[in-house]
Chains A and B, each alone.
Chain A
Amino acid sequence: MSEEWVSLSDLAPGRVGVVRQLVGGRGFISRLAALGFTPGVEVTMVQNFGHGPLIVLVRDTRLAFGRGEAAKVMVEKASE
């Protein structure tokens, strides 16, 4: 069973989510897409201390995200 949607910044370290929605202008979305973020892709949270920037793994790439940027990515939590 899948769980609710949360923003990427709320995903705990080690948890996996599926990207459902990108919120923002076309420039922002096109940058995210080029880095591998499209709806349906799996992301794994690598580092998230609940404040400051965070690190995710998407399509074999480690990406550092500002907290504000991560808040604009909605993911569906995969069940544990």
Chain B
Amino acid sequence: MNESANQRIGNQITVALAGQPNVGKSTVFNLLTGLSQHVGNWPGKTIEQKSGTYHHHGTTAHIVDLPGTYSLTANSLEERIARDYIIRERPDVVVAIVDAAALERNLYLVAELLSLPAPLVLGLNMVDVAERQGMHIEPHVLQAALGLPVVPMVATKNQGVWELMEAVDRVSHDTADYTPSRPEIRADHQAVLAHIQQLIAGAVPDPYPEDWVALKLLEGDEEITSMIQERLDEARWQEVHTVLMQHEDAILAVAGGRYEWIGRMVRAAVVRPRMGQVTLTDRVDRYAAHPVWGLFILLGMLGLVFWLTYAVGAPLQELLDTYLVQAGAEWVRAALNGAPAWLVGLLADGVIGGAGMVITFLPILVIFFAALGLLEDVGYMARAAYVMDRFMHLMGLHGKSFLPLFLGFGCNVPAVMGARVVEGQKARLLTILVAPLVPCTARMAVLAVLAPIFFGPHAALVSWGLVGLSLVMLAIVGIALHELMLGGEHVAFIMELPLYHLPNARTIGLAVWQRSVAFLKKAGSIILVVSVVVWALSVLPGGDIESSYLAAIGRLLAPLGSLMGLGWRMMVALLTSFVAKENTIATLGVLYSAGEEGTRLADALSGALSPAAALAFLAVQMLFIPCVATVATVRQETGSWRWTAFSVALLLVVSFAAGIVVYQGAMLVGWGV
């Protein structure tokens, strides 16, 4: 038995929470840690890391929530993170949460966890769901068979959590009577496993258990294979390699061995119903997962979310804007009466403008986060992904990317944050990178104001065309990035459809809380800084925008603009849209009516651009870098400035390229005058 490597300081223990997806692990984690949670990213990864503390009998348990994974083979980054944590950080206890209603499949992860050096406690969750499915499980019988503590739980009703931590506490103090039954490789491969283990003896680096490494080699685990290849001399590696090649199908012997073991473990403990009864989930899925009805249901759900956003969120947003932001700016102006103009401007326009934007975003975000959390918690998210998968695959995306991207029509920020539901680091990154190409309400608002000015009666047609252009560009960029990032590799579509269940208010509430706080804390500070900087650029050095640094940058960009028929004023309008899309209109208002009191923006603008240039401007506007809130969220979600910079550069290239093509094309067909 390996001793825990963690030095116990006082009464502190580290507990890792493991489990497959959809087993209620986050509900357990939320119950244990509540608002003590710290949410960040795993070091250097785009995957969320949650930790928190729980106090039990004077012991402080640091709870680390491992990513939900079906197994611990290096198939995905999540799996690598989970196993590396257990092997390298040596938590005092690992708690495996399993779904009692799908016990056999869930024990597969337990079988893998048992070959790692940390004592295990089993949280047998959702026993109520299992009972409703007609399955009866005897925890004591299972405990006796497995040789480790088994605690029955209904986490959604807060049942069994205290007992779980009681078992953790006992195991962490004393592992003397912890004698788990461990799975073995199928009998016909035992000799091969022993042979491999003998060949690699002495070459396995420190925290890794030798027998585990031998097993992973037979499973064809790429990470472990290259680790051992580096450590062995060429001749020895060839020997190992030859054996592995002769047993390429060994993964089935390993997996088969695990399921044989599982079969022995559950045989006496589980009383199963006769097969064939139709569950509620199957009845609902006849419609929700139907290729035609499913689409209607999906559209209905999304319609409801957007209706809620506009019915509740938009008025709230306006109230906040009027009574908090504008009133705040007024108050600052009044309070600083007599102070230098630059100070008043900085506070009233720069700081309050930026902070106000963050605050007015919140109602919309909370509604979106709640909707996303609810759909995920009841189990509908997987159905939406299933119904949409065939369409998303055309763009090189996974079905699970659909919902976050669709939310992008409301606001790109929750779209980028929602990409968390997408499995696999690359697929998630791809979703984040294309999300800003979904036209959000702010972009649509700008379009709605400008299209009639430029195109009069044809405005609707132009608007539809530009929304279409955005979606076509999204597909093109999606396919191109898919080819580049995944080498065009086909992402296998295999996805669990969890049982439907009643939503848990606490789980959804905490998710909304965490995401909102994350947005306020991390994105908020970036938004504030950028809006102050852009404000400063627009008034320095002379105090008016015409002679400002921003105008100078606009003039610098004029040669690029001339390819699209756009003068420096239009380029400046695009630049200010970085703070908020609506700024485009405000900036144009300032730039085109400056000096001419009473000139209406519409009159000033409609004469300023040819139809070709106007079309190009609107095309760029639709595809341009998103607002700073979205960019800050991209930074927060990818945890990387490089990917953030890539995203911005990508959109600059895409938008200007589209603008140039649109302008030159329109000139060719004679819209230049």
Partner of B255, one of A33, A49, A66: A33
Q: Is the CB of A38 within 8 A of B256?
A: yes
Within 8 A of B (CB), among A33-80: 33-36, 38-41, 44, 46-47, 49, 52-53, 55, 58-66, 68-69
CA distance in complex: A41, B71 (Å): 18
Pair A39/B71 contact, Cβ less than 8 Å = no
Task: Report A5 CB to chain B, min CB distance, Å.
Answer: 17
Within 8 A of A (CB), among B210-224: 219-220, 222
User: Among residues 383 to 399 in chain B, which have CB atoms less than 8 Å away from a CB atom of chain A?
Assistant: 385-386, 389-390, 393
A36 to chain B, nearest CB (A): 4
A63 touches B495 (CB 8 A): yes
Q: Of A33, A46, A52, which one neighbours B285 at CB under 8 angstroms?
A: A46
The reply to whether A62 and B497 form a contact with Cβ atoms under 8 Å apart is yes
B634 located at the interface, meaning its Cβ lies under 8 Å from any Cβ of chain A in the complex? no
Any A CB within 8 A of the CB of B289: yes
B495's nearest neighbour on chain A, judged by CB, is A64
Contact A62 B281 (CB under 8 A): yes
Complex interface: chain A residues within 8 A of B495 (CB): 63-64
Chain B residues in 8 Å Cβ range of A33? 71, 108, 251-252, 255
Contact assessment for A64 and B497 in the assembled complex, using a CB-CB cutoff below 8 Å: yes
Q: How far is the CA of A44 from the CA of B256 in the complex (A)?
A: 20
> Is A55 a contact of B289 with CB atoms below 8 Å?
yes
Residues of B within 8 A of A58 (CB): 105
Answer whether residue A11 sits at the interface, using C-beta atoms and an 8 A cutoff: no
B interface residues, tally (CB under 8 Å): 45
0 or 1 for each of A10-40: is its CB under 8 Å from B? (1 = yes): 0000000000001000111111111110111
Q: A41 to chain B: which residues have CB within 8 Å? A: 259
B75 on interface, CB distance cutoff 8 Å = yes
- Contact B73 A30, beta carbon cutoff 8 Å: yes
Contacting pair B493 A65 (CB below 8 A): yes
For residue B293, give the distance in angstroms from its CB to the closest CB of chain A. 12
B164 within 8 A of A: no
**A68 — nearest CB in chain B belongs to which residue?**
B490
CA A53 to CA B492, docked complex, whole Å:
12
Residue contact B252 to A22, C-beta cutoff 8 Å:
yes
Distance A30 CA – B644 CA, assembled complex (angstroms): 34
Structural contact, A65 and B494, CB atoms closer than 8 A? yes
Query: With A and B bound together, what is the CA distance between A39 and B254 in angstroms?
Result: 12
Q: Which B residues touch A65, using CB under 8 A?
A: 493-494
- How many residues from A make CB contacts under 8 Å with B? 34
Contact B220 A64 (CB under 8 A): no
B103 to chain A, nearest CB (A): 7
Q: How far is it, in angstroms, between the C-alpha of A46 and the C-alpha of B204 when the chains are bound?
A: 45
Contact between chains at B105 and A35 (CB < 8 Å): yes
Q: List the A side residues contacting B251 at CB < 8 Å.
A: 26, 29-30, 33
Query: Secondary structure at chain A's binding surface: helix, strand, loop or mixed?
Result: mixed
Q: What residues on B are CB-neighbors of A44 within 8 Å?
A: 275
Give bound CA distance, A22 to B496, whole Å.
18
Q: Is the CB of B252 within 8 A of A60?
A: no
- What separation, in Å, do the CA atoms of A63 and B495 have in the docked complex? 6
Closest A residue to B100 using CB positions: A60
| Nearest neighbor of A57 in chain B, beta-carbon distance | B282
Given contacts A36-B105, A55-B285, A59-B104, whether A30 and B255 have CB atoms under 8 Å apart is yes
Question: Nearest Cβ distance between residue B199 and chain A, in whole angstroms?
Answer: 19
B73: chain A residues at CB < 8 Å are 30, 34
B248 at the interface (CB under 8 A from A): yes
Contact B75 A27 (CB under 8 A): yes
Find chain B residues with CB under 8 A from A36 CB: 104-105, 108
Chain A residues near B499: list those with CB within 8 A: 62
> Across the interface, do B497 and A34 meet the contact criterion of CB distance under 8 Å?
no
Is B291 interfacial (CB-CB < 8 Å)?
Answer: yes
Closest residue of B by beta carbon distance from A22: B252
Inside 8 A of B252's CB, which chain A residues have their CB?
22, 29, 33, 38-39
How far is B385's CA from A52's CA once the two chains are assembled, in angstroms?
A: 13
A34 touches which of B108, B385, B389, B490 (Cβ 8 Å):
B108
CA of A37 to CA of B496 in the docked complex: distance in angstroms?
A: 13
Q: Any chain A CB within 8 A of the CB of B592?
A: no
Contact B75 A30 (CB under 8 A): yes
Contact B220 A32 (CB under 8 A): no
**Bound CA–CA A29/B275 (angstroms):** 27
Q: B553 within 8 Å of A by Cβ?
A: no
Which residues of B are found within 8 Å of A34, using beta-carbon distances?
A: 70-71, 73, 75, 108-109, 255
Query: Could you tell me which residues of chain B, from 285 to 310, have a CB within 8 Å of some CB in chain A?
Result: 285-286, 289-291
Report whether A52 and B102 are in contact in the complex, using a CB–CB cutoff of 8 Å.
Answer: no
Q: Could you tell me if A60 and B102 are in contact, using CB atoms closer than 8 angstroms?
A: yes
Is B382 an interface residue when CB atoms closer than 8 A count as contact? Answer: yes
- Which B residues are in CB contact (< 8 Å) with A62? 281, 285, 496-499
Q: Is B101 an interface residue (CB 8 A)?
A: yes
Most B CB atoms within 10 A — which of A35, A40, A47, A61? A61
Separation of A33 and B220 alpha carbons in the complex (Å): 13
Q: Which of B54-102 contact A (CB under 8 A)?
A: 70-71, 73, 75, 101-102
Mask, B90-134, CB within 8 Å of A = 1, is 000000000001111100110000000000000000000000010
Max count, chain B CB within 10 A of own CB: residue among A27, A28, A33: A33
CA–CA, A10 and B408, complex, Å = 38
Residues of B within 8 A of A69 (CB): 492-494
- State the Cβ distance, A80 to closest chain B Cβ, in Å: 13
Q: Which residues of A contact B (CB under 8 A)?
A: 22, 26-36, 38-41, 44, 46-47, 49, 52-53, 55, 58-66, 68-69
**Can you show 24 pairs from A to B with CB atoms below 8 A apart?**
A26-B219, A26-B251, A31-B492, A33-B251, A34-B70, A34-B109, A35-B494, A36-B108, A38-B255, A44-B275, A47-B286, A55-B285, A58-B105, A59-B105, A60-B101, A60-B103, A61-B102, A62-B497, A62-B499, A63-B497, A64-B497, A66-B389, A66-B393, A69-B492
Residues on B facing A (Cβ under 8 Å): 70-71, 73, 75, 101-105, 108-109, 133, 135, 219-220, 222, 248, 251-252, 255-256, 259, 275, 281-282, 285-286, 289-291, 382, 385-386, 389-390, 393, 490, 492-499
Question: Given A30-B220, A62-B497, 6 other A-B contacts at CB below 8 A?
Answer: A26-B220, A30-B219, A30-B251, A33-B108, A60-B104, A64-B495
Closest 8 CB pairs of A and B: A66-B493, A34-B71, A33-B255, A26-B220, A34-B70, A62-B497, A60-B102, A36-B105
